[in-house]
Chains A and B, each alone.
Chain A
Amino acid sequence: MTGISRRRFALLTGAAGATPFALAQGQGITAEAVIQRIQGALGGDWSGVPDGLKAGDASTVVRGIATTAMATLDVLKQAAAANMNLVLTCEPTFYGRGDGQAPAAVAAGRGRGAPGGVEQTDPVFLAKKEFIEKNNLVVFRLHDHWLARKENDMVAGLADSLGWSKYAVKGDDALFEIPAASAEATVAQIKTKMNLRGGLRAVGDKKAMVRRVLLFTGSMTPATMWKRYAETDMFVGGEVREWENTHYAADMFTAGEKRALVTVGRVVSQEPGMRLCAAWVKTVVREVPAKWIGAGDPYWRPA
């Protein structure tokens, strides 16, 4: 066992020195074996990342694999019903980067004194954990290493969902040249294609003629905005900070620039990439089925 694989194993089980390769005798492949295979295929160092086992027993025999942008309780219920007992989630399961750790173990909010972490007696937290245990689910966070993959399936997935894959300008860039339509019409198209409820927000010029679109998933930094907004008609992505990128898009509109910035929500933007993740997992783990389960648009708008 090499240093890296020992560390990897310790991460998985929380018990350094236990016996590796816990393939249950003749009963199929364990969660641990599936995860080791995924880790091996993606490569890299798995210490010091948010990726890892978040709930359940790694020695559980896997009947099916579900991928999702966020392992909400609804997603877990659907996974259990579909007999998919290993869940790979892009975002945390237990309400924040601490992913279930007690408040003392998690850094507080940026100078606001807001505590992070989850009280271990919290009823929603306990009910979710209980659901996972009762249904023998195993939840593994697959974030940094999935996003770091050089084939950027997060953006490819988003483009595919929007029906824009064939309009890619360059293979390795997130820029697309789509058939021209107004920003307003393009937004309507995005809402329909991604089955959105109330999470999409748009800023900029409604009447702008949109051809060149830059896609991003998750959140975007101001630096990218400043650098690339002027060469596009529209940005479509997950989330931005409103006092930074939204403010910039609003000022560009005031300056007469015919462009728009559209955010669909962080989780929603990651759904299509996690759908492609299920397809990729199938190429690495052939013994069991894999499928994507959508967390859906969390938001609605009042009357």
Chain B
Amino acid sequence: MTAREVVDLMKKTSNGNWSPQSTRDTFKVGNPDTEVKGIATTMMATFDMIQRAHAAGLNMVVTHEDTYWNDRDDTKDLTENTLYKRKTDFIEKNGMVIFRDHDHMHSMKPDFTVLGTLKAIGIKAGDEATMRPPIYTIPETTFAEFAARVKRMTGSRALRCAGDPNAKISRILIGPGYATPRMTPEADVVIGGEQQEADGVFDNIEYVMDAASLGQTGPRKAKCVIMLGHVISEQPGMEDMAAWLRTFLPPEIPIKFVLAEEPFW
């Protein structure tokens, strides 16, 4: 089966959640007519991840994020870039092919990136775990205790918190990657991947700093933010993506989740 045929089957199985207009969900590099020996699902097609996929004999990569360091995988300014040439050469010489599945994943019900992270931090969820999920309620605890738990369970090295560590929290609102949700009156903690820190659509960070300054730390008043980092926030969902591909692709094609390393020290 070729990579193109794999993608055709993905489209066919997508239940209408596939946008032909998407500029993200396309082949990025390699020949789509390559015979697929194995598929690696990953959060981000980093150079390191691609090398490990190749070593594992997986020549098709289904990546949630970009390959060439910009959202559109636009390479017109990169043709003379040494790193671009090295990465592309590695992919082409090893007969690999890279396909991005981003917009489709975020229109799935559930959205695996959201479901996976909820699961990773111990919150049971179902089909309601979409791009804009409801608020989940956990037993009340302090923000410091919850943040330490999230750090331990996600294995994140560079997780950042804003808000009062002593605040009493129980209502959790989560979003994947750059789709960090805005703080709402109903949420105590917003968990996201990354977000422009200020001068954006809604600046969570300044808001939670001001809430802390007002002494809003009691139950149903606390306002806190956890930034997991983009990779960590969408990583677990790519295991579910591998499982989804196994439900309709021929069993003789190995399909494995290949981790994208958290980039930070």
A interface list, Cβ under 8 A from B: 50, 70, 72-74, 77, 91-92, 95-97, 106-110, 112-119, 122-124, 127-128, 143, 187, 198-199, 201-203, 206, 219, 222-223, 225-226, 230, 238-239, 241-252, 254-255, 257, 265-267, 295, 298-303
The answer on a CB contact under 8 Å between B263 and A247 is yes
Q: Which 4 A-B pairs have the closest CB atoms?
A: A302-B147, A266-B197, A116-B201, A242-B230
The answer on a CB contact under 8 Å between A124 and B205 is no
Contact string against A for B residues 186-224, beta-carbon threshold 8 Å, 1 for contact and 0 otherwise: 000000011011111111111111110110100000010
Within 8 A of A (CB), among B31-58: 44, 46-48, 51
The answer on a CB contact under 8 Å between A97 and B194 is no
Contact A203/B161 with A96-B202, A239-B197, A252-B83 known, Cβ cut-off 8 Å? no
- Which of B150, B161, B165, B213 sits near A77, CB closer than 8 Å? B213
Contacts of B197 in A (CB 8 A): 238-239, 265-267, 298
The residue in chain A whose Cβ has the minimal distance to the Cβ of B198 is: A91
**Is residue B237 contacting chain A, with contact meaning CB distance below 8 A?**
no
Contacts of A107 in B (CB 8 A): 201
- Which of B194, B199, B210 sits near A50, CB closer than 8 Å? B199
**Is residue B77 contacting chain A, with contact meaning CB distance below 8 A?**
yes
The answer on a CB contact under 8 Å between B230 and A198 is no
Contact A301/B206 with A222-B70, A226-B77, A267-B197 known, Cβ cut-off 8 Å? no
| Interchain Cβ contacts under 8 Å between A and B, 14 examples | A95-B204, A110-B178, A112-B131, A123-B185, A124-B210, A124-B211, A242-B231, A245-B69, A247-B65, A250-B46, A266-B196, A300-B160, A301-B160, A303-B148
**Is residue B236 contacting chain A, with contact meaning CB distance below 8 A?**
no
- Which of A92, A223, A241 sits near B203, CB closer than 8 Å? A92
Cα A230 to Cα B85 in complex, Å, equals 14
Q: Could you say which interface size class chain B belongs to?
A: 35 or more
A-B contact count (CB 8 A): 192
A301: shortest Cβ distance to chain B, in Å?
7
Contacts of A222 in B (CB 8 A): 69-70
Contact string against A for B residues 163-183, beta-carbon threshold 8 Å, 1 for contact and 0 otherwise: 001000000000001110110
Contacts of A225 in B (CB 8 A): 69
Contacts of B249 in A (CB 8 A): none
The answer on a CB contact under 8 Å between A246 and B263 is yes
Cα A136 to Cα B11 in complex, Å, equals 60
Contacts of B69 in A (CB 8 A): 222, 225-226, 243-245, 247-248, 251
Contact A267/B198 with A226-B81, A244-B69 known, Cβ cut-off 8 Å? yes
The answer on a CB contact under 8 Å between B87 and A251 is yes
The answer on a CB contact under 8 Å between B159 and A301 is yes
The answer on a CB contact under 8 Å between A223 and B77 is yes
Chain A CB count within 10 A is highest, among B150, B179, B181, B216, for: B179
Contacts of A124 in B (CB 8 A): 207, 210-211, 214, 216, 223
The answer on a CB contact under 8 Å between B230 and A72 is no
The residue in chain B whose Cβ has the minimal distance to the Cβ of A121 is: B185
Cα A251 to Cα B263 in complex, Å, equals 9
The answer on a CB contact under 8 Å between B165 and A92 is no
The answer on a CB contact under 8 Å between B66 and A243 is yes
Contact A251/B83 with A114-B181, A241-B194 known, Cβ cut-off 8 Å? yes
B104: shortest Cβ distance to chain A, in Å?
14
Cα A238 to Cα B198 in complex, Å, equals 11
The answer on a CB contact under 8 Å between B51 and A254 is yes
Contacts of A198 in B (CB 8 A): 160-161
Cα A223 to Cα B74 in complex, Å, equals 11
B135: shortest Cβ distance to chain A, in Å?
15
Contacts of A72 in B (CB 8 A): 206, 209-210, 213
**Is residue B261 contacting chain A, with contact meaning CB distance below 8 A?**
yes
Cα A124 to Cα B265 in complex, Å, equals 35
**Is residue B151 contacting chain A, with contact meaning CB distance below 8 A?**
yes
The residue in chain B whose Cβ has the minimal distance to the Cβ of A240 is: B194
**Is residue B125 contacting chain A, with contact meaning CB distance below 8 A?**
no
Cα A115 to Cα B57 in complex, Å, equals 44
Contacts of B200 in A (CB 8 A): 96-97
Cα A267 to Cα B148 in complex, Å, equals 25
Chain B CB count within 10 A is highest, among A202, A241, A257, for: A241
- Which of B132, B147, B159, B223 sits near A113, CB closer than 8 Å? B132
Contacts of A116 in B (CB 8 A): 182, 201-202
Chain B CB count within 10 A is highest, among A222, A245, A295, for: A222
Contacts of A108 in B (CB 8 A): 201
Contacts of B160 in A (CB 8 A): 198-199, 201, 299-301
The answer on a CB contact under 8 Å between B48 and A250 is yes
**Is residue B78 contacting chain A, with contact meaning CB distance below 8 A?**
yes
- Which of A119, A127, A201, A230 sits near B264, CB closer than 8 Å? A201
